[in-house]
Structure 1
């Protein structure tokens, strides 16, 4: 049991929080890049994504796994995003730091979503049962390219706003 929930119940809660963070991030980050930040949606994105990372550490840990590494990396990245957004209020270079770290945090959450989708959804698992097959690699590659392009657009937007 974790926090009074069975492991399947806690897993469902963890996934639900993650999906809230992903959904909010997919709304908040493009708005930020367009120069129209949505403070509530951004808050939901940041807090849900942080809660996703932190709740992941509550699962039984018997060895260091890639999931644990992603959780540690995501938590560190989110600490920088929180500082840039809440601590520095996006002033000066903090806007660029936020653009990069928020994009990375969303990417990592989506990366895990793709991994878990290929593991848990029978149709996807049939295409890539070991996670090394071309369909899985194509999905992760497309996600990486999309995140890199979006991150570049978000960073460029912060630099244009700073120069204006």
Structure 2
């Protein structure tokens, strides 16, 4: 699973690195700031690559993971446009903040689902991922990200001292 020479390993590492990079980006947004250009670009690129590489796995028929992946791609592309295309001017500042936080949410959402599928103790609690422990975990993650996303979208840039 963590062997970077396999598609699964590469996809997993890209996702984990994107999550790690997304944390300081999100914390900066909550303060009304921007994380460094490099870390932000790396986060957005890796969030995009995570979803894009998910479509490289063999599949037959559209599954919920494909729908989540497609939505995640649209959201991260929206964040990239708001930042690089629109320069976070006007309405694009909160759009960027919300989309960047939502991009991190999708990564964490899938990480939680994978943890419940792959970690034996969690899989025992929710073998079909339709049991209450799984729903509670995902509900807590969603609530946390709604709060964080709202704070990030409402945060005002720090004023420049006179």
TM (norm. structure 2) is 0.90
Match of 1:37? 34
Q: Which residue of 1 aligns with 2:48?
A: 50
1:100 CA displacement: 1.2
Residue among 103, 107, 111 paired with 1:109: 107
Q: TM-score scaled by structure 1?
A: 0.89
Size of the aligned set, in residue pairs, is 156
Which residue of 1 is the match for residue 157 of structure 2? 161
Q: Which runs of 4+ in 1 moved over 4 A?
A: none
Aligned to 1:27: 24
The answer to which structure, 1 or 2, has the higher relative contact order (CA under 8 A, 6+ apart) is: 2
Q: Is the 8 A contact 1:92 1:162 kept in 2?
A: no
- From 57, 78, 81, the equivalent of 1:80 is 78
2:8 corresponds to which residue?
A: 11
Cα offset, 1:61, TM superposition: 2.2
Q: CA RMSD in A?
A: 1.9
How far off is 1:36 after superposition? 2.9
Structure 2 unaligned segments of length 5 or more: list them. none
Deviation at 1:96, TM superposition (A): 0.8
1:145 is matched with which residue?
143
8 A Cα contact 2:52 2:73, kept in partner:
yes
Gaps of 5+ in 1: 1-5
Distance between the aligned counterparts of 1:73 and 1:52, measured in 2? 12
- Report the secondary structure of 1:119's partner residue: helix
Q: How far 1:163 sits from its partner (Å)? A: 9.8
The 1-side partners of 2:31 and 2:127 are apart by 39
